[in-house]
Amino acid sequence: MNNFKNSGQTLPLAGQNSHSASVISGGQTYMTAETAATMRAMAVAADLDLPRYLLAGEIQRLLDYVPDLRQRLLLETLWNTGGRINEVLSLTPGDFHLHGHQAFVVLRTLKQRQRGRGRPVRGERISRAVALPDPHYQRRVREYIATFGLRQHERFWPLSSDNTPRNWISAAITRAADDNVTFPVDPITCHTFRHSFAMHLLLHGVPLKVIQAYLGHSRVSSTEIYTRIFTLDLNWLGSVRFSQ
């Protein structure tokens, strides 16, 4: 089974998308696309406490229904970086380092830190780098900057809240539904892309500590929630038997 069934149409798990052509191509993987879809369906049916995520081909299909260049690049950036929506909305061309083979982007989030008993909480900008391995995404960022003539410190998306990106996603889902294409996650939000990014890396064998760093989690326990899907995969047990 290489496709995920939808009402009226099949949704391919593989496609030309960011990070790789499919869940099972390129690099070490823990499970195939077929198994990943099956395990996700089992987790949903069992009501396991697992983040709702889309697989790579499903993300690509959703992006196919986002014709606007500005809207599409924002969703692609969520998918390629795993950033929180407020982090992505604050990005400028100066945050992207796209020269050479070590392309990356710097994400910044406002963390609140207590500076002592009775003292006020102070906001502090915490930065982290996220590698950008997809040359197609790198090219689209460069083209976007050139097309709109963005300056180094000019924001890509000068939006005041995340309501607008939410509406963009909803519009894409509506256009897809008009073609009888549906998705296995409902609702799909900006944070769905973050969960999908984390699971995509995990499915490709990226170490948990690296994923933790990319997501900006202060505790690895926050990242470990994504590994719960693997408890449903019998392949981990191999030839283990509990009876003689």
Q: What is the CATH number of the domain that holds 31?
A: 1.10.443.10
7 located within any domain: yes
10 located within any domain: yes
Indicate which residue of 65, 137, 214, 226 is catalytic. Answer: 226
> Active site includes 226?
yes
Q: Which domain holds residue 94?
A: 3-235
243 located within any domain: no
With cut-offs at 50, 70 and 90, classify the pLDDT of residue 116.
low
172 located within any domain: yes
Determine the Cα–Cα distance for residues 203 and 1; give it in Å rounded to an integer.
18
pLDDT at 244: 77
For residues 195-205, give the mean pLDDT.
94
pLDDT at 4: 33
Q: Which two tokens stand for residue 201?
A: 């890396």
13 located within any domain: yes
Q: Does pLDDT of 190 surpass 90?
A: yes
pLDDT at 121: 55
Strands (E), 64-150: 96-97, 104-114, 121-131
Q: Which of 11-25, 32-46, 185-199 has the lowest mean pLDDT?
A: 11-25
Looking at the DSSP assignment, which residues form a beta bridge with residue 107? 128
Q: Which of 17-31, 177-191, 225-239 has the lowest mean pLDDT?
A: 17-31
244 located within any domain: no
Q: Does pLDDT of 79 surpass 80?
A: yes
Determine the Cα–Cα distance for residues 168 and 191; give it in Å rounded to an integer.
14
pLDDT greater at residue 23 or residue 81: 81
The 3 state secondary structure assigned to 85-100 is: HHHHHCCCHHHEECCC
* Mean pLDDT for all residues in the chain: 84
28 located within any domain: yes
Determine the Cα–Cα distance for residues 224 and 204; give it in Å rounded to an integer.
15
241 located within any domain: no
**DSSP strand pairing (96-97 vs 10-12):** unpaired
pLDDT at 239: 76
For residues 56-75, give the mean pLDDT.
97
Of all residues in the chain, the percent with pLDDT exceeding 70 is 80
With cut-offs at 50, 70 and 90, classify the pLDDT of residue 240.
confident
Q: Which of 36-50, 107-121, 162-176, 177-191 has the lowest mean pLDDT?
A: 107-121
- Is the Cβ–Cβ distance between 56 and 20 less than 8 Å? yes
Number of domains comprising the chain: 1
Q: Which two tokens stand for residue 160?
A: 């005041």
Determine the Cα–Cα distance for residues 30 and 4; give it in Å rounded to an integer.
19
Q: Which class for 166: exposed (0-12), middle (13-18), buried (19 or more C-beta within 10 A)?
A: middle
